[in-house]
Amino acid sequence: MSVTAIPSKTESHRVPLLEVRGLRVEFATRRALLTAIDDVSFEIAAGEVLGVVGESGAGKSITGAAIIGLIDPPGRISGGEILLEGRRIDNLPPEAMRRVRGRQIGAIFQDPLTSLNPLYSVGRQIAETVQVHLGLSASQARQRAIELLEATGIPGAASRVDHYPHQFSGGMRQRVVIALALAAKPRLIIADEPTTALDVSIQAQIIGLIRQLCRDQGTAVMLVTHDMGVIAETADRVAVMYAGRIAEIGAVADVIHRPQHPYTRGLMGSIPSIHEQRDRLEQIDGAMPRLNAIPNGCSFHPRCAMRTARCEQQRPELMRVRRGDAERAGGSMSACWLHVPEQGDS
């Protein structure tokens, strides 16, 4: 049985805009049925940024794809529920999901060239989205496209609205993709590695833009990344994923400064700091398990220096910290047996 992350006291009054309950995603192959996402639960409130972090293969992007209905065969959602503003969307017919995806959920992907049609001007692409979902006239849609380009920091938007994707730099193209994602005024944005291919200065601008959207429009954002620096600058809460499950979830400050799961501690220990001198950075030995070789018990136990016999036999669910410095751990939840007495219940 999964345990949904419980909001902190400062967030308890906020109604979740997105609720993911016990999500399970499977891929059928000739040899086996592979589980890519296994019983994942979390919530995002309006105006909140939830960062999702982990190594490649942890299941971050597949979770985002499941939410926006882009899991293609042989993959499928085999369990759980996804609710947007209280309405279940994971079981909608394809046509109904397409309307949700453009109107209520926007998407920002890592490579803007995969999101933009090279044969059409950026203004035409944004205007078509506006017309389809908001029912505006052609002239109104064009004006909306110019306003969106201005809002996302494109200089000379009135003249650049007729330019093609190849006429923009990488950072400017990513701004166009953000404008496209915002075209129909969605309530939720799935941002999958939106800053990975950009230099540091452009990354900072994109991060600032995402935070401004949350503040000004109350947009909820699920920010998928492997970069903890981006998480620290952008997110309100963070979910750490490992082998298709959430290992830890909590407020950014708690997870970064007081990590409760051994995997999260390893991630934090591998990041260099300008405030602390170290001879060597920490490392996590081993590698993420393949989907056809997920170990029994805690999937992290083969790489964990703190494992016990229980870790090898029983899989822990997300739980509150029950031992050690519980108050300093804040509102984080961790899927680790270290937080219960050896003979305690989960």
Please give the C-alpha separations between residue 160 and each of 125, 143, 166, 340, in angstroms, as whole numbers.
13, 13, 12, 59
Give yes or no for a contact between 254 and 331, defined as CB atoms under 8 angstroms apart: yes
- Alpha carbon distance, N-terminus to C-terminus of the chain: 11
Task: Report d(CA 258, CA 248) in Å as an integer.
Answer: 11
Tokens coding 186: 């969605």
pTM value? 0.86
Residue indicated by tokens 């592979």: 34
Crossing angle of helices 138-151 and 122-134, in 10° steps, is: 120
What distances in angstroms separate CA 79 from CA 82, 265, 335, one per listed residue?
A: 10, 30, 20
* pLDDT in 10s for each residue of the chain, 346 residues: 343 444 443 444 467 899 999 999 999 999 899 999 999 999 999 999 999 999 888 999 999 999 999 999 999 999 999 999 999 999 999 999 988 988 899 998 877 777 899 999 999 999 999 998 888 999 999 999 999 999 888 999 999 999 999 999 888 998 899 899 888 889 999 999 888 767 777 788 888 888 887 788 888 999 999 888 888 888 999 999 999 999 999 999 999 988 999 999 988 877 766 666 667 767 788 899 999 999 999 999 999 999 999 999 999 999 986 545 444 445 789 999 987 755 444 4
Radius of gyration of the chain (CA): 21
The residues with which 53 forms a beta bridge, in sequence order, are 240
Report the pLDDT value the prediction gives residue 236, as an integer from 0 to 100. 93
Residue with tokens 């940024």: 49
Identify the pLDDT of residue 273.
64
pLDDT of residue 202: 78
**pLDDT for the residue 278:** 67
Res 204: pLDDT: 82
